[in-house]
Amino acid sequence: MRRLLSHALPAAVALMAFCAYPIGASAQKASEKRATAARGGVPYATRDDAMRFADDVASRRNLDRDWVRATIGGARLLSNVPRLMLPGPKGSPKNWNVYRSRFIDPVRIAAGVRFWRANADTLARAEAEFGVPAEIVVGIIGVETIYGRNMGSFRVIDALATLSFDFPQEHPRAAERRAFFRGELESFLSTESRTAEDPMVPLGSYAGAMGMPQFMPSSIAKYAIDYDGDGKVDLVNSPADVIGSVANYFKGFGWQPGMPSIFPVRFDTARLNMPVLMAPDILPSFSADSFVAAGAVLEGEALKYPGLLALIELQNGPDAPIYVAGTRNFYVITRYNWSSYYAMSVLDLGHEVKAAMEQ
């Protein structure tokens, strides 16, 4: 979640838009319920490391020290959250078909059709302005929250504080991830300090992601925009702001209008060099010629593709993997969630909703 406001607004109004992140009535009630449930947690006001961090943030961000200490101090340890950050057992097989079935189903497709029809003009405007197809935006919002149905029930301040100060040490990248969440907590505090809202109210995922698009605080600060022109950014209640912000996020990461995300790929087993093709993982690294030279077989439009490609492998448990050639745009989708399985789910859901729209 990072920050960016509508370029059509005057500077003073733009600052107001950035600072406002309203929570709907239903979210407010859920927040109160969650706050009650969190009372058994340990308050971070008792933790010296949390209070030192509060003082440091207040100093560097020029924030009111007492407010920062009170906000972090009011956060509660969510004892069940750290274990949710741990990777699954080593060697557990990945299964694309199972993963896909979690996101591409009749309920989500039907919800996507309703969302698209209700917001067709805004989706078309965003596609024209940012170059991101409507089906990509629809796919993201559907995979993330089923179009606002599941936006999370954890207090954001609790989630971010827990992962900043109690991230599990046994995680293989514990130091890196702890630093990431401290940065997100700092961004959240910086944004909330500019509002009249209660920082203990916003709800989100157990990782601190918020709203229909599940933006982290730094992404709200950099990419969220006021796309309905009402003078505030609202990723909870405004589909227009959500659509514009998701499209702006992709543009910020280098989405190329008109570029396919994937191409079909087969293999010439006589000259296949799978270790070479798999080495860069999802990072596009091969020209079409070098891709083919390593044993990939491309056809039609893919042979003329001027950019770089990556071989994307989707494992299927005991069955044979599925492979596609990923372009720069496929890589951009993985900047939202660093997983090729996630990116393929976004593409497939968007495709299925678009097909249902055309029936």
Rounded to the nearest integer, the mean pLDDT of the chain is: 89
Q: Is the pLDDT of residue 23 over 50?
A: no
Rounded to an integer, what distance in angstroms lies between the CA atom of residue 201 and that of residue 156? 8
| Marked catalytic residue, from 127, 135, 144, 184 | 144
Q: Is the pLDDT of residue 14 over 50?
A: no
Q: Which long-range contacts (CB under 8 A, 24 or more apart) does 125-129 make?
A: 126/227, 126/243, 126/244, 126/247, 127/247, 129/247
Q: Determine the average pLDDT of the residues in 59-67.
A: 97
Report the CATH number that the domain containing residue 208 is assigned in CATH.
1.10.8.350
Rounded to an integer, what distance in angstroms lies between the CA atom of residue 73 and that of residue 292? 58
Residue 57 lies in a domain: yes
Residue 136 lies in a domain: no
Residue 71 lies in a domain: yes
pLDDT at 211: 98
Q: Determine the average pLDDT of the residues in 10-34.
A: 36
- All residues at 6 or more sequence positions from 190 whose CB lies less than 8 Å from its CB, including other chains: 57, 61, 63, 221
pLDDT at 90: 74
Task: Assess contact for 165 and 83: CB atoms under 8 A.
Answer: no
Helices 174-192, 65-74: inter-axial angle, 10-degree rounding: 120
Query: Picking from 91-95, 262-266, 284-288, which range would have the lowest pLDDT averaged per residue?
Result: 91-95
Q: Is the pLDDT of residue 37 over 60?
A: no
Residue 19 lies in a domain: yes
Query: Picking from 78-92, 122-136, 191-205, which range would have the lowest pLDDT averaged per residue?
Result: 78-92
Residue 181 lies in a domain: yes
pLDDT at 53: 98
Q: Determine the average pLDDT of the residues in 80-102.
A: 89
% the chain with pLDDT above 90? 84
Residue 271 lies in a domain: no
For 232, the enclosing helix (H) or strand (E) is: none
Residue 44 lies in a domain: yes
Residues constituting the chain: 359
Query: Picking from 84-98, 221-235, 342-356, which range would have the lowest pLDDT averaged per residue?
Result: 84-98
Q: Are strands 266-267 and 319-326 parallel, antiparallel or unpaired?
A: unpaired
Confidence of residue 91 (pLDDT cuts 50, 70, 90): low
* Boundaries of domain holding 12: 2-89+151-236
176 included as an active-site residue: no
Distances in whole angstroms, Cα of residue 190 to Cα of each of 88, 89, 94, 166, 193: 34, 37, 39, 21, 5
Q: Which of 145, 198, 161, 143 minimizes the C-alpha distance to 42?
A: 161
For the segment 172-228, what is each residue's pLDDT rounded down to a tens digit?
A: 999 999 999 999 999 999 999 998 889 999 999 999 999 999 999 999 999 999 999
Q: Is the pLDDT of residue 315 over 70?
A: yes
Residue 43 lies in a domain: yes
For the segment 222-246, what is each residue's pLDDT rounded down to a tens digit?
A: 999 999 999 999 999 999 999 999 9
- All residues at 6 or more sequence positions from 27 whose CB lies less than 8 Å from its CB, including other chains: 151, 201, 202, 203, 236
Q: Determine the average pLDDT of the residues in 254-273.
A: 96
Q: Into how many domains does the chain fold? A: 1
Q: Is the pLDDT of residue 22 over 70?
A: no
Query: Picking from 36-50, 234-248, 254-268, which range would have the lowest pLDDT averaged per residue?
Result: 36-50
Is 175 strand, coil or helix?
Answer: helix
